[in-house]
Amino acid sequence: MTPFDRCFDLLIGHEGGYSRDPQDRGNWTGGAVNRGVLKGTKFGISAAAYPDVDIANLLLHEAKAIYKRDYWDRIQGDLLPPAIALVTFDAAVNAGPAGAGKFLQIAVGVRPDGIVGPATLAAVEARQQAALLVECLARRNEYNRTAPTAHIHGLGWSRRLFTLHQQALALLVEEG
C-alpha cells in the first residue's frame, strides 16, 4: 500500500457520505448559502469547491483521484514523513493545500507562502516528528477556533483533530 493509499483510507474515514444540508455553504455551487445550486457534499468533495462535479453520483475512486491530484500532490505528500503527510493532507482537505502548507511552514519555522518546497521539506526533516505533529495540529486547531462557523462545527473539528493525532502517532510507531 502506498503512503497516499494509507493516508487516503484514514482520511476518508473522517469524511461523511452524501449530504445536502442547505445551511452548509460548502453544499452550494456558489460557496455561500442560497448562492448557486444546492448539490451537496460527498466523500468530503463539496459543490463549492467542485461545482461541475455530479456530487450525488460521485464514486469513491473518482473522489480518490481528486484527492490525489488536488491535495496530496500539492502538499508533496510523497516527500513528507507518513505521519506528517497525514496531518498535512487532512489539513489540505479542510483548509486548502496552501493553508495546509502554511500550517506546516509555521510549525517548522519557515516563511509561510503555502508552497511545500525544498526549504519546508528540509525543515520538516530536521524536526522531531512527534513534537512536529503536535505543533501542526495546534496551528490547525487555532485556525479552526477562529473560523466563522466554529460555534457550529467546532466540537466535530476538535474530535477530528484528536482522532487524527492518534492515527498519526500510529504511523510514527509503524515507521519505527
Distance of alpha carbon 29 from alpha carbon 164, whole angstroms: 29
160-169 average pLDDT score:
95
Query: What pTM was estimated for this model as a whole?
Result: 0.92
Query: Residue 175 — pLDDT band, cuts 50, 70, 90?
Result: confident
pLDDT at position 15 is 85
Separation between Cα atoms, residue 3 and residue 81, nearest integer Å:
9
Domain boundaries, the chain: 3-15+60-175
At 133, the pLDDT band (50, 70, 90 cuts) reads very high
The CATH number, out of the four listed (1.10.10.10, 1.20.141.10, 3.40.50.720, 2.60.300.12), of the domain defined by the range 3-15+60-175: 1.20.141.10
Residue 44 in grid coordinates? 468530503
From residue 176, give the alpha-carbon distance in Å to each of 54, 81, 146, 173: 42, 12, 36, 5
Cα 115 to Cα 103: distance, rounded to the nearest angstrom: 11
Classify residue 147 by burial, with Cβ atoms within 10 Å: 0-12, 13-18, 19+. middle
Query: Can you tell me the distance from the alpha carbon of 140 to that of 162, in angstroms, rounded to the nearest whole number?
Result: 12
